[in-house]
Structure 1
Amino acid sequence: MDIFHWYLLQLLILCISLPFIFRIYRRKPISLKLPPGRKGWPIIGEALEYAMANKNGTPEKFITDRMRKYSPQVFRTSFFGENFAVFCGAPGNKFLFTSENKHVTTWVPRSILKIFLFPTDVEYSAKVEIAKIHALRPEFLNPEALQRYIPIMDSMSKQHLETDWSPCKQVKVFPLLKNYTFAVACRLFMNIKDHDQVTKFAYPFSLVSAGLLSIPINLPGTAFNRAVRAGKLIREELLGIIRKRKMELLENIGSSQVDLLSRLLLVRDENGRGMEEKDITHMIIGFFIGSYMTVGATITVVLNYLAEFPQVYSTVLKEQMQIAKSKGEDELLNWEDIQNMKYSWNVACEAMRLAPPALGAFGEVTADFSYAGFTIPKGWKTYWTVSSTHKNPEYFPDPEKFDPSRFEGRGPAPYTFVPFGGGPRLCPGKEYARVEILTFMHNVVTKFKLEKVNPNEKFIYNYNLSSIPENGLLVQLHPLNN
């Protein structure tokens, strides 16, 4: 009888508990109003659709189609097994840019970490690496440091044009600029000047760039596998350079060098410890990837529009000739000259509006939060995109028109022009890019007038998401008689 009552009591408790258990398990799915959208194919999600839009030179179509179909504020998609909330418009940009370390933290796909980092550090937090770069930005990328870079960039651009452009009637712009911006990075970051060493170092970086956001299948012959192997070569090469420089600094050889590598080796924490060699390697790779490819692609886009719009070129030429005539013989550009290139920078900004150096950036949700009436769950990934503002007629009337006057006066509304991100997520290399773009513009427009050989050449977005000309942008060079 006691046993019977005991079982009866257990059954009674179970019957009473079931509705509560059912309600608890139902509560979370019911309460989570997820952003509308679709997950796409198993595993790969909508990655192929996005890649095809990029390949066709219309990445904004992937975004705008889903904004119209699902929500103009935030929609759901999936790439390679990860759920993404894509934030749209100026409010979406503002929310993500101001939510760093509140709702969202930096996130880098594991496949990219496998390319960049030493194998033992793949689980290492990308947030820590990026935080280090931002912490060092005031020292390495502040106006004082940039002022030292300008004469070097100026002299290198002059030499590059004289050597690789002047002997030719026609040139392919993008391959030349990719080589040029890589050489500038080698000089400023590690004081590497030898042409053969730069060329040798550039090859594995080209493989990394090609495989950076490719399908992460690590099998021989795939772009991702080539990128992983190239990343290993780069790390080994950098370790050799770092150790050699450490010895030089210990022997007080080249202690006056002001390149990035020497400065990183001289950094000390509060306990007097220097940075680990592998951390320096990671940081230099990050600076390279963030500088040479995107800047080279951006200058290419700028030159494309200068060739396409003669009146814009004439106005840029007038501004740059005034600066050139103010200089003494063999006097190089300086910080004041860069500040006086206002119209030229407006032209560059309009070029970046139409063909941004990057299409957006990733983040990871650290705790459930609500946005625009939807719940974004912890663990989801976020993505902000330039496409939802740069070509949005709400922010830029007649958005396909090339019009540098958009940037006169106060310029575009906040959070609408975001080629470098914004807020805590502002690209640390923005001013570096501005100086390099304007320095090259000055030299090329005062030396040549450009004419596109194929006026209809299409620009596409490759795997590293920079806008590049499909066939390299072949131009006819018309030397100026200054």
Structure 2
Amino acid sequence: MAMEDFLAFPALSLTLPIFTFFLFLYTLTRKTKTLNLPPGSYGWPIIGETLAFVNQDHHKFISQRMRKYSPKIFKTNILGEKAVVICGAAGHKFVSSNEEKLFQVWRPHSMQRLFHTYTEKFNSAAEIRLVKTPGFLRSELLLEYVQVMDSLVAQHFNTYWTNNKKVIEVHHLAQLLVLNISSQYFLGLEDQARIQKLSKLWDTMMFALHVIPLNFPGTIYYRAMKAAKIVREELKVLIKEKRVTMAAGVKMNDVLSFMMNNPDSTGRYVTDDEIAGKVMGLVSAAFNSPAMTTAFIVKYLGQRPDVYDKVRKEQEEIRRSKKEGEGLNWEDIQKMKYSWNVALEVMRVIPPLQGTFREAIVDFTYEGYTVPKGWKVYWTMSTTNMNSEHFEAPEEFDPTRYEKSSSVQPYTNIPFGSGPRACPGKEFARLQLLTFMHHLLTKINYWDVLNPHTKVLGGLNPIPIQGLHIRLH
């Protein structure tokens, strides 16, 4: 090789990758420009419309853009990702019908880092199998858990509600109750001191599920990451304790033990850190939304004497049918029809989770617009649950609207999602909410809501920032 050829070789080796990179960018930009993308705005450079998305009233954020761009689909840039919002009942059905065909599940980067899933490529079907394989959340297997749930809720009321306290903060107690139930069911953990510690840590994490992941002192996300680290270490300690106990021949029947003893959907036994991350995700789902719905049930029952009287009558009839000391059973839960309608209406007016994300795994077309592969797809209940086309007088709190099956159209009020990605814990949450309502209405005469206009956090999680305070009678 000639000297000049030798000198030219490194220059060529550098030029070729750079040329290829810019050619790729040009091709990608040209492709995006030629696509018929949905109308909308990307907002500010880098941050897009994230600040409004996570801080503004969610229904306001969505409805403003539906009016401005399209009532069916619009584009935006949120949480560091280009995304489309698919709206309405038809949009809900489209997303639900195309799981694993056009979409896969996607979690915001803040959640991925909190739960240590940022290195994983999510597989929706695998996640569902991971939860459903042991059958912990199937309704037929919850039959055996009704009495346990009833006992836990009764103990909760005896400890925190009927001990002569006049003023209580409902949201915090709801969190404590829900985590106590979830800890025993998912983790096999009964130590109340450890559960109370975890409850405070999980509460800190909940404020940072859908935020810009700025991890430096003073930010919400920094506090959440510290809390997540402590929770993960606590779970690892619990896993080690369980291994010792199981080695001694003790059988355990909880989700955590199942994960420890069985491979995942690929046949691989996962590490303790991975188990901790997956359990953190499961418990978070069973912690945040049910606690919020429980608190807002108390709020609406306290503000609507007519609704309160109907629920109380239903629950008192069930109580009178029981023998002394006899707990609830599955048949009792099925009788609580009006009570469940109240819970559904609470979740319509204040969805426990405003929406969720998917990722496009191929280019697809919807309503004449093309959504490129890799873009995020967001569906939200706020496009249907307060829409007068689906619910007459949507601002009114009216549980009777569910008494006629024809009055509520499919894909309009779906707090648990729908299709293959519907929440597998729906029956578990239903059991918890109805058991709580039974004890609330049979143990407490009535209550006053002291801060009915409590400020509710914007964004995806409607958390009452100052809590919900009531005075018991």
Report the TM-score, using the length of structure 1 for normalisation.
0.87
Cα distance in structure 2, aligned partners of 1:69 and 1:245: 55
Deviations 1:183-231 (A, max 9, x none): 1111222222222111222232222212222321111221112222222
Aligned-partner SS, 2:472: strand
| Structure 2 counterparts to residues 197-276 of structure 1, below 5 A | 197-253=194-250, 255=251, 257-268=252-263, 274-276=269-271
Q: Rate the CA distance shift 1:242–1:220 in 2: closer, same or farther, 3 A.
A: same
Q: Paired residue for 2:420, among 400, 421, 424? A: 424
Secondary structure, counterpart of 1:446 in structure 2? helix
Change beyond 3 A, Cα 1:30–1:150? same
Deviation for aligned residue 1:448: 1.3
2:471 to 476, 479, 482: 476
Distance 1:419 1:267 in 2: 31
Change (3 A) 1:194 1:29: closer
SS in structure 2 of the partner of residue 85 of structure 1:
strand
2:256, 2:349 → 1: CA distance?
Answer: 35
Correspondence for 2:36: 33
Q: Following superposition of structure 1 onto structure 2, how do residues 402-441 of structure 1 map, counting pairs within 5 Å?
A: 402-410=397-405, 411-441=407-437
Q: Structure 2 CA distance, aligned partners of 1:246 and 1:454?
A: 47
Say whether 1:345 aligns with 2:364: no
| Change over 3 Å in CA distance of 1:159–1:74 after alignment to 2 | same
CA distance in 2, matches of 1:434, 1:303: 15
How far residue 403 of structure 1 moved from its aligned partner, in angstroms, is 0.7
Given the alignment of the two structures, is residue 333 of structure 1 paired with residue 328 of structure 2, yes or no? yes
What residue in structure 2 maps to residue 69 of structure 1?
Answer: 68
Paired position in structure 1 for 2:391: 396
- 1:50 aligns to what? 53
Q: How big is the alpha-carbon RMSD for the aligned residues of Structure 1 and Structure 2?
A: 2.2
Q: Which of 332, 337, 359 is the matching residue for 1:364?
A: 359
Return the offset for 1:90. Answer: 0.3
Please tell me the residue identity of whatever aligns with 1:183. N
1:149–1:188 CA contact under 8 A, matched in 2: no
Give distance in 2, aligned partners of 1:303 and 1:336.
Answer: 24
User: How much does 1:274 deviate?
Assistant: 4.8
Aligned residues: 444
Given that 2:96 and 2:419 are in contact with CA atoms closer than 8 Å, whether structure 1 keeps it comes out as yes
C-alpha separation in 1, matches of 2:102 and 2:399 = 36
**Does the C-alpha gap of structure 1 residues 26 and 402 become closer, same or farther in structure 2, counting only changes over 3 Å?**
closer
Determine the C-alpha separation between the residues in 2 that align with 1:424 and 1:269.
19
Conserved in 2, the CA contact under 8 Å of 1:452 and 1:475? Answer: yes
Contact 2:87 2:379 in 1 (8 A): yes
- Report the AA paired with residue 66 of structure 1: R
Cα pair distance change 1:51/1:274, threshold 3 Å: closer
Contact persistence 2:53–2:78 (CA under 8 A): no
In structure 2, the CA distance between the partners of 1:212 and 1:452, relative to structure 1 (3 Å rule), is same
Structure number with greater Rg is 1
Q: Which of 376, 382, 403 in structure 2 is aligned with 1:381? A: 376
Code of the aligned partner of 2:105: T
Counterpart residue identity of residue 157, structure 2: L
Judge conservation of contact 2:47–2:77 (CA < 8 Å) in 1: yes
Taking the aligned partners of 1:429 and 1:295, their CA distance within structure 2 comes to 10
Instruction: Find the aligned partners of 2:222 and 2:281 in 1 and give their Cα distance.
Output: 19
Aligned partner of 1:140 in structure 2 is 136
1:178–1:296 Cα contact (<8 Å) kept: yes
Is there any run of 5+ residues in structure 2 with no aligned partner, and where? 1-26
| Residue in 1 that maps onto 2:456 | 460
Cα distance in 1 between the residues matched to 2:82 and 2:63: 19
Mapped partners of 2:330, 2:217: distance in 1: 48
Query: What percentage of residue pairs aligned between the two structures are identical?
Result: 41
CA contact (8 A) 1:43 1:79 kept: no
Question: What SS does the aligned partner of 1:319 have?
Answer: helix
- SS of alignment partner, residue 35 of structure 1: coil
Sort the Cα spacing of 1:271 and 1:292 in 2 relative to 1 into closer, same or farther, 3 A. Answer: closer
Q: In the alignment, is the contact (CA less than 8 A) between 1:106 and 1:362 conserved in 2?
A: yes
**Residue matched to 2:6:** none
Q: Partners in 1 of 2:98 and 2:294 — Cα distance? A: 31
Provide TM-score, normalisation by structure 2: 0.88
Aligned residue for 1:101, secondary structure, equals coil
Q: What is aligned with 1:13? A: none
